[in-house]
Amino acid sequence: MATVLSRSEIPAEQQWNAESVFATLADFQAAVAALPEAINGLARFQGHLGDSPQTLLEALQTQEDVIRQVGKVYVYASMNANADTTNAEFDAMNGQARSLFGRFLATASFMDPEIIAITEDRLNQWMDQEPKLQVYAHFFDDLFRKQAHVRSAEVEEVLGLAADPLSSVNNTENVLTNADMTFRPATNSQGETFPIIQGNWESYLNSPDRELRRTTWESYQDGYLALKNTLASNLAVAIKRDVFYARARRYSSALEAAMDESNIPVQVFHTTIETYKRHLPTWHRYWDVLRRSIGADKLYGYDAHAPFTRHAPHIPFEQGVDWISEGLRPLGEDYVAALRQGCLQDRWVDRAVNQGKVAGAYSSGFPGTHPFIMMSYDDTILNLSTLAHELGHSMHSYSTWKNQPFAYSHYSLFVAEVASNFHQAMVRAHLFQMNPDRDFQLAVLDEAMRNFHRYFFIMPNLARFELEMHERAEQGKSLTADVMNARMAELFAEAYGPAVEVDPQRDGITWAQFGHLYANFYVYQYTTGISAANMLAQKVLKEGPEAAKRYRAFLNAGSSLYPIDALKLAGVDMTTPDAVETTFGVLAQMVDRLEQLTAK
């Protein structure tokens, strides 16, 4: 890639379908202008939710209508801002959306305390008197479950008002790393130079040219190191925000607060991490196989993505959609048809590489919009995997929105990462069966190990890091760049084992490259997600339609069930270590296959 295109140079068919949300920027601004009045309209219910079941129903329905409007504005603003972080107008729009969301939270803050004041017994009577309230039964159950952590209306209002300023650190990280941060060009073994931006550096890191990998990795890590103190200060604020919210809601720790939000036992976090640590020898064995396959005495951070073949397939976007569709065919023709229409007709996917586009990939959307995807597709098997992953999220949203009332149209992060990794496991199984060619098999294993490296290696290490940093904040200890880098490097040294030489500074800055750490205890859910996903994929592949039916029932459930119960519906119990153990078995089998293929 000699040059990187600006956003204005990208063909419309490679961009997300923004006009399906708002036809023009003027329509967006009109919606923004109308929202304050709609939000203020909620205030008329304050002090009156206990008047009658009809009043409560009207308030809940009014709140849902306002959330729909706020959600639509938020999706449009954030997607535009992330597609081009250099566009000041888009950044301003994103700020407007965040402010409106904070204003909504503050205005609606009276509702939970007033509903709790009605009492559970009285609400049960009201649901008999007004059948339309019955749809909220699980919502009420969840509210009373967390009753001890719902504060007075006045405190809830303050917490709502604090949402906007306290969330600004998320945007600061986004703008700093995607708009302001620069990287020196990388150089390959022939002396050719390559520009490094957030949208392309991973492609170079997967190169068979070790010099290109080294200079890319060092450039990327050094870009973050140049701003390490600012990034550490910013993350420290986010961590202290988590601690503040936990204490304001009377939790014993930020971890307990995060887990309780979705009714997940705290022990699930600890069991996941302990199981991971117990199986580190599997990872040590993999690093040694990789070291021998590239003929190196020692591996370094830039070798983690070294490919096993120089003959990986070229996979244009449309071909990628075809292969993903075939891998997911066990879920049903209607499932595949919806996915294909989203990718090929409705423009769910913003797939171009352009200047100013955010790093990584994500699925976004809201009931009433498409389940959009932001990513940079580069025709590699790795980006095929990323597309499959994000389509897992999008099809989860699509299924939930289609089958649940608005009250349960969302789902927790804990189950979200199951759907995404399930897609990857199913597509990978199809690719292994599709082509027995050695280079193709090695390319699929490259994809698999990149996926496992991110979600089953990096993420549990980040989870350990995140827990320790939150505990430091809770104990009043300092959170500096040097503290963060040193601990991150120590965790990697343990996890890599003797085959990999850890660079204390460059490996240590890895924490700064994951905006996920700005969402309270998000990253461990990638590890639980990939674990449940691989266990469920094995069930679908071995048991057939009945297992697929159970899996789709899980997708359709949304938040009408607690996450642990929804996964039990699909066929996995995440309160035990079984899924993590099973997935380490999958990893071990792939290492076996790699050892056999590379030995040839």
Task: Read off the pLDDT of residues 413-452 as tens digits, 9 standing for 90 and up.
Answer: 899 999 999 999 999 999 999 999 999 999 999 999 999 9
Domain that holds residue 49: 10-168
Same domain, 288 and 401: yes
Same domain, 449 and 583: yes
Q: Is 187 helix (H, G, I), strand (E, B) or coil?
A: strand
Q: How many domains does the chain have?
A: 2
Same domain, 146 and 277: no
> What pLDDT, on the 0 to 100 scale, is given for residue 153?
86
173 occurs within a structural domain:
no
407 occurs within a structural domain:
yes
Q: Is the pLDDT reported for residue 121 higher than 60?
A: yes
CATH code for the domain in which residue 286 is found: 1.10.1370.20
Average pLDDT of span 169-193: 93
324 occurs within a structural domain:
no
Contact assessment for residue 552 and residue 246, using Cβ atoms and an 8 Å cutoff: no
> What pLDDT, on the 0 to 100 scale, is given for residue 63?
97
Surface-to-core class of residue 304, CB atoms within 10 Å of its CB (0-12 exposed, 13-18 middle, 19+ buried):
buried
What is the average pLDDT value for the chain, to the nearest integer? 95
> What pLDDT, on the 0 to 100 scale, is given for residue 554?
98
331 occurs within a structural domain:
no
Same domain, 163 and 273: no
Whole-model pTM? 0.89
Give the active site residues.
Answer: 390
> What pLDDT, on the 0 to 100 scale, is given for residue 164?
84
* End-of-domain residue from the set 120, 152, 168: 168
533-557, pLDDT tens digit by residue? 999 999 999 999 999 999 999 999 9
Q: Which amino acid appears at position 71 of this protein?
A: G
| Band of residue 134 on the pLDDT scale cut at 50, 70, 90 | very high
| Band of residue 600 on the pLDDT scale cut at 50, 70, 90 | low
Same domain, 387 and 505: yes
Contact assessment for residue 396 and residue 416, using Cβ atoms and an 8 Å cutoff: yes
Q: Is the pLDDT reported for residue 199 higher than 80?
A: no
Same domain, 15 and 144: yes
Same domain, 273 and 411: yes
56 occurs within a structural domain:
yes
Distance CA 181, CA 373 (A): 24
Average pLDDT of span 359-366: 91
Average pLDDT of span 480-499: 98
DSSP states of 370-387: --EEE----SSHHHHHHH
131 occurs within a structural domain:
yes
CATH code for the domain in which residue 66 is found: 1.20.140.70
* End-of-domain residue from the set 150, 168, 186: 168
* End-of-domain residue from the set 113, 139, 168: 168
Q: Is the pLDDT reported for residue 1 higher than 50?
A: no
Token duo for residue 67: 């959330």
Q: Which of 248, 100, 244, 228 is nearest to 166 (CA)?
A: 244
Same domain, 149 and 279: no
177 occurs within a structural domain:
no
Same domain, 37 and 161: yes
576 occurs within a structural domain:
yes
Give percent of the chain above pLDDT 90: 90
Same domain, 154 and 280: no
Q: Which amino acid appears at position 460 of this protein?
A: P
Q: Is the pLDDT reported for residue 336 higher than 60?
A: yes
Cβ within 8 Å of residue 412, ≥6 positions away = 261, 262, 559, 563
Cβ within 8 Å of residue 434, ≥6 positions away = 323, 326
Same domain, 593 and 453: yes
49-92, pLDDT tens digit by residue? 999 999 999 999 999 999 999 999 999 999 999 999 899 999 99
